[in-house]
Amino acid sequence: MQTAPSKPTTVTTTTPAEKKYEYTFYYISHGGPADPWWAPVIKGAELAGKLLGVKVVYQGPEKFSIKWLVDALESAAAAKPDGIIITITDYKALDEPLRKVIDQGIPVIAVNVYDPRSPDERIPYLSYIGQDEYQAGYKLAKYVIKWFQEKYGRLPKLAFIGIHEVGHIGLELRAKGIQDAFKEAGANYVPEKVDITTDITKAYEIMKSYIEAHPDVEVIFTLGPLGAHPAMQLIQDKGLKGKVYVATVDIDDKILDGIRNDLVIAAVSQQPFAQGFLPVVYMYLYVKYGIMPPDHVPTGPTIIDKSLLSLVEKQIKATGGA
């Protein structure tokens, strides 16, 4: 995990110059420009800001960093915005600073990653908008297990999990869901977590080395495009199509093609555009009209395989992700 703060990427929505902003919302995320999954999120937040006439400041690091996230939160709070939307990527690190923000009267909505503790213990944000991360991994693994049983009459000989941001609570929950599904299925192994980093070149080499050292691997579980893209390329480069498969969380054009071309068994859709758009809308309704958002607004998980490609193609073409 990166510990040093990095320069943020800031995207501020614009409205006509003569129109004043009624409200300012900060959208603070662990996802920056290096991860293509976040492009639809930014697009969604921008559109909501323009439609509602509010200023939305999106900030994300160049490299994954919990320290950066905490620092960005504290800087945003000092600006006294009307609301803060944030990914609870590490609830332990964010607990104290977020409680201070909420005590100052700034409303907070969690997005993409939630505080997994009980309601009595968790950070008292207004709402969580996003998928259940544990279920995303669990449902994906259950699908893969069923797929192998139907195709080969058995479980995969060996599978591993490529995790690109170690310590990211959402990714760790996905991984645990995958591992628990294999335990329940009676597998004689638990898929190992492998740190593949956020560098796709390094990820490729790390996965290549793992497969060379473990020739029984039949499934590479990845937790986002940063792992799925190099995994698909590796399978093609090494002539492993039909022998090794990818199963992943999140969808983009490349992953869609991977499903279509039998490189990817299935992927989890959590609809990133909605995770950008909906928090801005719900925050606006809260500060403008006092309308309380639901405790949890699910945007997934939905398992996408070949039979459902047409369902997500429109969304991907319009927003860049699904």
Question: Which stretch of 12-16, 83-87, 294-298 has the lowest confidence by average pLDDT?
Answer: 12-16
Residues 192 and 121 reside in one and the same domain: no
Residues 204 and 224 reside in one and the same domain: yes
Strand ranges of the sheet holding 217-222, from the earlier edge strand across to the other edge: 192-195, 158-163, 217-222, 245-249, 264-269, 302-304
- Structural domain contains residue 289: yes
Per-residue confidence band for 14, with pLDDT thresholds at 50, 70 and 90 = very low
- Calculate what percentage of the chain has a pLDDT beyond 90: 87
Give me the mean pLDDT over the 96-107 stretch: 98
Residues 254 and 275 reside in one and the same domain: no
Each residue of 139-161: pLDDT tens digit? 999 999 999 999 999 999 999 99
- Structural domain contains residue 306: no
- Structural domain contains residue 314: no
State the pTM of this model: 0.85
Q: How far is CA 91 from the centre of its chain?
A: 16
Residues 238 and 188 reside in one and the same domain: yes
Q: How many domains does the chain have?
A: 2
Residues 216 and 195 reside in one and the same domain: yes
What's residue 20's pLDDT? Answer: 82
Residues 159 and 245 reside in one and the same domain: yes
Residues 295 and 186 reside in one and the same domain: no
Residues 122 and 214 reside in one and the same domain: no
Question: Which stretch of 4-18, 35-49, 178-192, 256-270 has the lowest confidence by average pLDDT?
Answer: 4-18
Residues 6+ apart with CB under 8 A from 282: 109, 126, 127, 129, 293, 297
The enclosing domain of 47 has a CATH number of 3.40.50.2300
Domain coverage including residue 64: 8-130+271-300
Residue 116 has pLDDT above 70, yes or no: yes
- Structural domain contains residue 30: yes
- Structural domain contains residue 305: no
Give me the mean pLDDT over the 261-283 stretch: 98
Residues 72 and 147 reside in one and the same domain: no
**Torsion sign (Cα): 166, 168, 174, 176:** positive
- Structural domain contains residue 265: yes
Residues 83 and 62 reside in one and the same domain: yes
What's residue 190's pLDDT? Answer: 98
Give me the mean pLDDT over the 85-105 stretch: 98
Residue 109 has pLDDT above 50, yes or no: yes
Residues 214 and 288 reside in one and the same domain: no
What's residue 3's pLDDT? Answer: 36
